[in-house]
Amino acid sequence: MAKPKFPKKIEIFEVGVRDGLQNEARSVRLDDKIRLAQGLLDAGIRNLELGAFVRPDLVPQMADTEKVYDAVRSGSLRLGRAKAYALVPNLKGLERAIASGAKGIAVFTAATESFAKRNIGMSIGESLEVFEDVVREAKRAKIEVRGYVSTAFGCPFEGKVSPKKAIAVVERLARLGIPEISVGDTIGVATPKGVVDVLAPLVKKIGRKTRIAGHFHDTRGTALANALAAMEVGVTVLDASAGGLGGCPFAPGATGNLATEDLLYLLDGMGIRTGVKLEKVAATSLSFSRAIGRTISSRYLQAYASACDAREKGQ
C-alpha cells in the first residue's frame, strides 16, 4: 500500500472572527473581537476573516464590522503582514468595504439553489452575475478577492450533493478570475471519500490558476479526517476557527468549524509547517471562551483548559 503524501507546509486561513462568531446567540463585545483577532495574529496567523459587510438585521453579530476596520486604521488592531478579508454579498457591500479601508474581500455562493436563495437571496446564476461586477470593481480598487462555495457536500434543504454539481459551481466561480476558492462542508456531513471526490478533480483541473481550500465543519466528528483527505489530494490551504467556534444562521443544525487548535496539533505532530504557534492560539481561544462565558468545542482547547485549571489549583 502506497504511503500517503502530504504537503510540507499548510496555510491556515482563520475564520473565527467572522464565520466563528456569526451564529453566537449573545452579542460579542467589540473589544473581545479585537482581542481575539490580535491574539491570533500574534500567534502567527497570516490570513483571516475580520467581518462581513452584510445586512445587520440578518447577521447581527457582524453589525460592527466597520468598527473592527476602524481599529485597524487607528492601529489598535495591528495586522502587520497579515491579510484580512471581509465578506461582501454585492456591490453595496463592496462600497462599504472600500470605505472602511478593507484590502481583501470574499464572495460567497453555494452548490445548491435552495441554500443560495436562503443564504444570499439569489440563485446560483444570479449570484455569479453579481460577483462578476464585484470582482471587477474590487480588482480595480486593488482589493484581493477570495471565493466560497457552501454546501459542496450536503445541503440542509436538498440533502446529499453530487460531486459533479459542486465541481461545476466552483469552476464557474473560478472563471471570474478569483485566485482562491474555499470549498465548504457547511453542515458537516462530508467524509474523506466525498472530499476526495470533489477536491481531487478541482485541484487537477483548475489548481494551477485557482488555489483550492478546504472548509470543514465538525458536526459529525469528521473534520480532521476530511482535512487529511484534502491534504492528500494536494490542498495546501485549510480554513479553521479558533476554538472550533462557528455555525451558520442559514443552515439548521450546523455546528462549529474545524478547530484551529485541533488542526495545529495534528499538523505539528506530522511535522507539517504552518508558522502558527499552537500554545498562543490556545491561550487566545481560552481567554475568549471565558470572555463570552461558555465552553467552546475544540478538543485540544478543552485539554489545555483542564491543564491550566490544574496548574492554577496547584499554586
Report percent pLDDT > 70 for the chain. 96
Please check whether residue 2 lies inside any domain of the structure: no
CATH number of the domain that 79 lies in? 3.20.20.70
Q: In this model, does residue 144 exceed pLDDT 70?
A: yes
Q: Distance from CA of residue 180 to its chain's centroid?
A: 12
Can you tell me the distance from the alpha carbon of 161 to that of 75, in angstroms, rounded to the nearest whole number?
44
Q: In this model, does residue 255 exceed pLDDT 80?
A: no
Please check whether residue 5 lies inside any domain of the structure: no
Mean pLDDT of the chain: 94
Range of the domain at 24: 11-314
- Entry field: residues in the chain: 315
The count of C-alpha atoms lying within 13 angstroms of the C-alpha of 41, restricted to the half-sphere facing its C-beta, is: 20
Q: What is the pLDDT of residue 309?
A: 85
| Ranges 126-130, 137-141, 178-182, 294-298: which has the least confidence | 294-298
Number of domains in the chain: 1
The mean per-residue pLDDT over the stretch 183-207 comes to 97
- ∠ CA 304-6-147 to the nearest 5 degrees? 80
Q: What is the pLDDT of residue 314?
A: 74
Q: What is the pLDDT of residue 26?
A: 87
pLDDT band, residue 273 (cuts 50/70/90) = very high
DSSP type of residue 244: G
Q: What is the pLDDT of residue 180?
A: 98
pLDDT digits (tens, 9 = 90+) for 50-83: 999 999 998 999 999 999 999 999 999 999 999 9
pLDDT digits (tens, 9 = 90+) for 150-183: 999 999 999 999 999 999 999 999 999 999 999 9
Can you tell me the distance from the alpha carbon of 315 to that of 299, in angstroms, rounded to the nearest whole number?
25
Q: What is the pLDDT of residue 201?
A: 98
Please check whether residue 3 lies inside any domain of the structure: no
Torsion angle (degrees, nearest 10) of CA 161, 167, 173, 177: 160
pLDDT band, residue 25 (cuts 50/70/90) = confident
Q: What is the pLDDT of residue 117?
A: 94
Q: What is the pLDDT of residue 295?
A: 83
Please check whether residue 91 lies inside any domain of the structure: yes
Q: What is the pLDDT of residue 208?
A: 93
Greater pLDDT, 309 or 3: 309
pLDDT digits (tens, 9 = 90+) for 217-234: 999 999 999 999 999 999
The mean per-residue pLDDT over the stretch 241-245 comes to 95
Instruction: Write down the pTM of the prediction.
Output: 0.95
The mean per-residue pLDDT over the stretch 104-115 comes to 97
Please check whether residue 303 lies inside any domain of the structure: yes
Q: What is the pLDDT of residue 254?
A: 52
Please check whether residue 81 lies inside any domain of the structure: yes
Would you say 268 and 16 are in contact if contact means Cβ atoms under 8 Å apart? no
Would you say 285 and 305 are in contact if contact means Cβ atoms under 8 Å apart? no
Would you name the residues annotated as active-site residues? 248
The mean per-residue pLDDT over the stretch 12-16 comes to 97
DSSP type of residue 256: P
Q: What is the pLDDT of residue 185?
A: 96
Buried b (16+ CB within 10 A) or exposed e, 40-66: bbebbbbbbbbbbbbeeebbebbbbbb
